[in-house]
Each structure stands twice: as C-alpha cells, then as structure tokens.
Amino acid sequence: MEILNGKVVSQHIKEEIKKEVDQYKLAGKRAPHLVAILVGDDPASQAYVASKVKTCGEIGFESTLVRYEADIEEKILLEKIIACNADKDIDGILVQLPLPKHISENKVIETISPAKDVDGFHPSNQGKMMLGLPTFIPATPYGILLMLQHYGIKTSGMHAVVIGRSNIVGTPMSLLLSRNAEPGNCTVTICHSKTKNLKEICLQADMVVAAIGKANFVTADMVKPGAIIIDVGINRITSTETKSGYKLTGDVDFTAVSEKASYITPVPGGVGLMTICGLMKNTLLAYQNQCNKS
C-alpha cells in the first residue's frame, strides 16, 4: 500500500506555480490576486480560508480576505462580488461555502464573473466542464486529478465508484473520471443516500472516491483488495487526544482500509491540500487569461 501524500504533491505543485509567478514578476507584471470572502465565524470555514490565504503568500500571489458578520444582508455580499468582478487587479474570487441560510448560495455563485470563478462553481463553468471545454475545474476534483497524475496512476478502464453527488465534489468528480482523458476513461458509478447495495457496488470498484461527510463510513469490508481509495471527507470528531478537543478524520476507516488498498489518501494530509492546489492553479489561469486580454 502506498500513501498518496498530499503534503509532498502539493509542495511540488506550489513550487512550480511560484516559479511561474516569479517569472511574471521579473517581467514587470503584477502578481495574481485572489479575493477570499468569508461570512460568519464557522471554525472550519475560517481554517479553510486561512490556509488558502497562507498558500497565496507562499507562492507569491496577492490575496485579500474580506470578512462579514453572519447576519450580513445578501445584497451587500452581492454588491461586493460585483465590485470585485469589475476590478481589473483581481483575478479570482472565492466565497467560502456554506453560507448562512438567509443568503442564496446559487445567487452568490451566479454573481461571480465566470472569468473569476476560480472555484469552478458557476453554471457556465460547470457546463463547459461537462462539455470538455477549457474552464475552471472545481478545486477538489481538480486536486484529485493532479494527485493521480503525480503518482502516474493510469485510470483508463477502471471502475470508479464515487460516493456523494454534490455539485462541488461528487458530481464533477464522476464526470471528470468518465471523460476521454487521462486521468479519466473510467466506468463510473455515482452513489448517494438512496443507493441500494452500496457495499456490493463498492466491492466492484477499482477506485473509490468517498465524498459523503460521515466519519469512517467506508469500512474494510466494502473495499476490494488493491483498490485505490480517495478520501475527500473532512469530519471533526471529538477527541481527548488534542488540545482543541476535536480531530479531523475522513469518510474512510483509514487504519483498516489501508491494509487492503493499493493507494490511499490520508485525512488530514491528502485531498484537502490538493484542493488548495486546484484553487491556486485556477487562479493562475484566471490571471493568465486576464493578462492576455489586456
């Protein structure tokens, strides 16, 4: 069994991006600029945004963190996005999800200019991805593809089982794995909470992508020997072992499943770090597109 090490791969990708950014700066150009918008004080969202902003600093991007109270009016948030859309010195906009209930996530996503939608959630970008046109690929599936590529894992012909059908992870992941590309060319089964015989389906999988949001949901008896296991889940479970009183765990029972898998991503240290790489690569692309226009 080999661990798919998000730390190592993301470090490598970040160094590559930084080299490219240094070249732009040497040529007298400004740095790529990502604006991150955080609404409320959910601890997980704060941690995700903080690591995105920190990564921007590491790779030479400019970043701006915009924070609003949880009870902010939707209108104010939309106006801020519209202002960022119009600002030529901003390349990428990310609004950390989930948002408070009184704000429409769909409206927010649709207000972000598709050219700056570096999370790849805008319907126009999701549509382009479905058609195989150049676009921003949602950051988590993109990060997983980068991970598979880095390890030289050839997925062609595999049966991939994706558990979870969200618009940001499960659905785009299943589309990307099924397309005629490498990584890709998988036969994909997408599962969700209404799926019957989930265990039997998983046992047929050469690769399982778990994006459910339930700690240790995928157990060793659901996994075929030699399968590749991609654990997207980030679950906070209470723990007496940590100062904070909680620890992060994935959707996969890592200890038991790693004894059967050929490759497996850990949590933390796996897909989460790759998601940030996907976001940074999208921001660099948005910057390059904007530079080519002006």
Closest to 58 measured CA to CA, from 118, 109, 17 = 17
d(CA 132, CA 250) in angstroms, rounded, equals 30
Q: Which of 14, 80, 116, 119 is catalytic?
A: 119
Site string for ligand NDP, 53-92 (x = CB under 6 A): ----------------------------------------
164 contacts ligand NDP (rule: CB under 6 A): yes
Beta-bridge partner residues of 94: 36
Q: Which is nearer to ligand NDP, 266 or 272 (CB)?
A: 272
Segment interacting with ligand NDP (CB under 6 A) among 68-76, 127-135, 174-182, 185-193: 185-193
Among 37, 39, 163, 284, binds ligand NDP (CB under 6 A): 163
166 contacts ligand NDP (rule: CB under 6 A): yes
45 contacts ligand NDP (rule: CB under 6 A): no
d(CA 81, CA 94) in angstroms, rounded, equals 9
Q: Which of 52, 80, 116, 281 is catalytic?
A: 52
Residues 247-276 that bind ligand NDP (CB under 6 A): 271-272, 275
d(CA 99, CA 111) in angstroms, rounded, equals 14
Burial class (CB in 10 A: 0-12, 13-18, 19+), 88: exposed
The minimum distance between CB 165 and ligand NDP, in angstroms, equals 4
d(CA 203, CA 228) in angstroms, rounded, equals 12
Radius of gyration of the chain (CA): 19
Alpha helices in 94-169 (DSSP H): 105-111, 123-131, 139-150
Beta-bridge partner residues of 259: none
Segment interacting with ligand NDP (CB under 6 A) among 31-39, 158-166, 218-226, 283-291: 158-166
d(CA 122, CA 135) in angstroms, rounded, equals 10
Beta-bridge partner residues of 67: 38
Q: What is the DSSP letter of 87?
A: -
Cβ atoms of residues 167 and 294 within 8 Å? no
138 contacts ligand NDP (rule: CB under 6 A): no
- Which residue's CB atom is positioned nearest to ligand NDP? 166
Amino acid type, 236: R
Which residues fall within 8 angstroms of residue 50, CB to CB, at 6 or more apart? Answer: none
168 contacts ligand NDP (rule: CB under 6 A): yes
Is 119 known to be catalytic? yes
Q: Which is nearer to ligand NDP, 44 or 76 (CB)?
A: 44
Is 96 known to be catalytic? yes
Q: Which is nearer to ligand NDP, 66 or 215 (CB)?
A: 215
Is 194 known to be catalytic? no
Among 34, 212, 261, 280, binds ligand NDP (CB under 6 A): 212
* Strands 246-249 and 235-238, bridge-based pairing: antiparallel
Segment interacting with ligand NDP (CB under 6 A) among 29-37, 188-196, 241-249, 255-263: 188-196
10 contacts ligand NDP (rule: CB under 6 A): no
d(CA 176, CA 193) in angstroms, rounded, equals 21
Q: Which is nearer to ligand NDP, 234 or 257 (CB)?
A: 234
Binding site for ligand NDP (CB under 6 A): 140, 163-166, 168-170, 191-195, 198, 211-214, 232-235, 271-272, 275
What positions carry a catalytic annotation?
A: 52, 96, 119
